Chain A
């Protein structure tokens, strides 16, 4: 039994998109904290 092309595609593209969303999310959190004066 081997991992299929479809599974490999979902794994790789999924992780890259997940990383991109993480970067956007971190930036959004920072803006939100800055607006509220809660960065540190």
Chain B
């Protein structure tokens, strides 16, 4: 996008980018001073309280997709579209009881990979690592790419520079401060995002009433108000299952379950889900107001910023820029930290250096974070386009991991054959349906097939798992 088409002058964009970059890096360096070992770096000393725990659960789930895609969803799928996207909060709500159990069963655990290795053995662990690394790297690359594209669209900052700065800043403070820096900045970012959305929402409503929005939609786009909009109702189930799979398996969430103080995890995830639930509706309704406000929308994925900038002028564009920047940073830093912990703990330590010292593991995690940043930057630089379709491709993979995780945490009779078969058969069937039917059935079919296999294997199993095996100390 050219500078003339952008919502903000580039110098304003650069000034905002510089100010927030300095703030995040400064905080990362400050909070990183107390990290002495890998446990401090990767899990913030396993002592996170309720306030930071709640905020980081919500903030990590608020990505640029949340703030940018919510209005697009509302514009395409109407009221049901906003509600469908909100069901992703169920992932956090349902993970809440699991977080408490994870902490109790694995008081010395580091990653979700530790769970698969100890619970199901090396075969299931290997499959899990392939699936989760594919998903995590795809998510990371798509976020960094979205960062460059959005900063360019909002302020005219060239794509390569915007992507490089946002990725570089996140790598710098995550490397230096580890999970403590990620969670600390998440708290500030979550408040900025939520307060920004509230201010922007009420400001838009001061220019147009709900009655005017409703009247315009009834006349121009009645399908968006339809209570029986089939595509939107299908989207509810797909989003729900995709969200469950993402949260249940990914080390982004497991690392937090390990990092929260005893007794905090369940409450923090439940409250995080409740904090997240209304954000989509509050951010998404702005798109429904575009018709009543006579805002031309040339590209549906930019509807939110276009409406806000047209109604509120440069102040609105600044607010959107800050909200988007915080949304991107809160997800990119979490992905960098969690993926680097997974590679350090599950690959470096468990496969090559079981005797590595805590200090050595900490510096390895920092190098891995840097390497992940460089890898992501190199993939993003050519601007190959959107990775949204690749992310949806991961839907069957994450859907197939739901049942091995849930049964493995609660049932002693859940076994390796069930986990390995469930993941492979579920992912295979889900991918086949993804190509044969469409993206919206991939996660659904994968979850269903995996469920049947995992439950059948558990039913026929004569073995009973000893929970004490999960309490591995080193």
**Which A residues are within 8 Å of any B CB, using their own CB?**
1-5, 8-9, 11-16, 18-20, 22-23, 25-27, 29-30, 32-33, 38-40
* CB atoms of A26 and B48 under 8 A apart: no
A18–B423 alpha-carbon span in the complex (Å): 38
Say if the beta carbon of B197 comes within 8 Å of chain A. Answer: yes
* CB atoms of B187 and A30 under 8 A apart: yes
Given A8-B213, A22-B278, A39-B49, A16:B191 Cβ within 8 A:
no
A7–B218 alpha-carbon span in the complex (Å): 14
Q: Which of B211-229 contact A (CB under 8 A)?
A: 211, 213-214, 218, 222, 225-228
Tell me which residues across on chain A come within 8 A of B329, comparing CB atoms. Answer: none
Tell me which residues across on chain A come within 8 A of B55, comparing CB atoms. Answer: 26
Given A8-B79, A15-B278, A19-B279, A39:B52 Cβ within 8 A:
yes
A8–B274 alpha-carbon span in the complex (Å): 20
* CB atoms of A1 and B227 under 8 A apart: yes
* CB atoms of B51 and A29 under 8 A apart: yes
Tell me which residues across on chain A come within 8 A of B211, comparing CB atoms. Answer: 5
* CB atoms of B214 and A8 under 8 A apart: yes
* CB atoms of A2 and B218 under 8 A apart: yes
**Which B residues are within 8 Å of any A CB, using their own CB?**
44-45, 47-52, 54-55, 58, 79, 82, 180, 183, 187, 190-191, 194-195, 197-198, 201-202, 205, 210-211, 213-214, 218, 222, 225-228, 261, 271, 274-275, 277-279, 281-282, 285
20 contacts between A and B (CB under 8 A): A3-B79, A8-B79, A8-B213, A11-B79, A14-B278, A16-B197, A16-B201, A16-B202, A19-B198, A20-B195, A23-B191, A23-B195, A25-B275, A26-B55, A29-B51, A30-B187, A32-B50, A33-B49, A38-B49, A39-B49
* CB atoms of B79 and A16 under 8 A apart: no
Given A23-B198, A40-B49, A15:B210 Cβ within 8 A:
no
* CB atoms of A20 and B210 under 8 A apart: no
* CB atoms of B281 and A23 under 8 A apart: no
| 4 tightest A-B CB contacts, nearest first | A29-B51, A15-B278, A15-B281, A18-B278
Given A3-B225, A19-B197, A19-B282, A33:B275 Cβ within 8 A:
no
A9–B74 alpha-carbon span in the complex (Å): 15
* CB atoms of B227 and A3 under 8 A apart: yes
Please, which residue of chain B has its CB at the minimum distance from the CB of A6?
B210
A20–B261 alpha-carbon span in the complex (Å): 27
Interchain nearest-CB distance for A6 vs B (Å)? 9
A9–B225 alpha-carbon span in the complex (Å): 13
* CB atoms of B191 and A40 under 8 A apart: no
Please, which residue of chain B has its CB at the minimum distance from the CB of A32?
B51
* CB atoms of B79 and A29 under 8 A apart: no
Tell me which residues across on chain B come within 8 A of A11, comparing CB atoms. Answer: 79, 82, 281, 285
Tell me which residues across on chain A come within 8 A of B227, comparing CB atoms. Answer: 1-3
Tell me which residues across on chain A come within 8 A of B47, comparing CB atoms. Answer: 40
* CB atoms of A29 and B275 under 8 A apart: no
* CB atoms of B225 and A29 under 8 A apart: no
Tell me which residues across on chain B come within 8 A of A20, comparing CB atoms. Answer: 194-195, 198
Interchain nearest-CB distance for A26 vs B (Å)? 5
* CB atoms of A29 and B50 under 8 A apart: yes
Please, which residue of chain A has its CB at the minimum distance from the CB of B195?
A23
Contact of A12 among B50, B180, B277, B285 (CB under 8 A): B285
Tell me which residues across on chain A come within 8 A of B44, comparing CB atoms. Answer: 40
Please, which residue of chain A has its CB at the minimum distance from the CB of B50?
A29
Tell me which residues across on chain B come within 8 A of A26, comparing CB atoms. Answer: 51, 54-55, 187, 190-191, 194, 275
A14–B191 alpha-carbon span in the complex (Å): 18
Please, which residue of chain A has its CB at the minimum distance from the CB of B277?
A18
Q: A15-B279, A23-B194 are in contact. List 20 more A-B contacts (CB 8 A).
A: A2-B226, A5-B214, A8-B210, A8-B213, A8-B225, A9-B210, A13-B210, A15-B281, A16-B201, A16-B278, A18-B277, A18-B282, A19-B279, A22-B274, A25-B275, A29-B54, A32-B50, A33-B49, A33-B51, A38-B50
Interchain nearest-CB distance for A5 vs B (Å)? 4
Interchain nearest-CB distance for B3 vs A (Å)? 33
A20–B228 alpha-carbon span in the complex (Å): 31
Interchain nearest-CB distance for A20 vs B (Å)? 5
* CB atoms of B275 and A22 under 8 A apart: yes
A6–B250 alpha-carbon span in the complex (Å): 39
Interchain nearest-CB distance for B172 vs A (Å)? 21
Tell me which residues across on chain B come within 8 A of A9, comparing CB atoms. Answer: 210
Tell me which residues across on chain A come within 8 A of B51, comparing CB atoms. Answer: 26, 29-30, 32-33, 39
Interchain nearest-CB distance for A9 vs B (Å)? 4
Contact of B205 among A4, A12, A29, A32 (CB under 8 A): A12
* CB atoms of B54 and A12 under 8 A apart: no
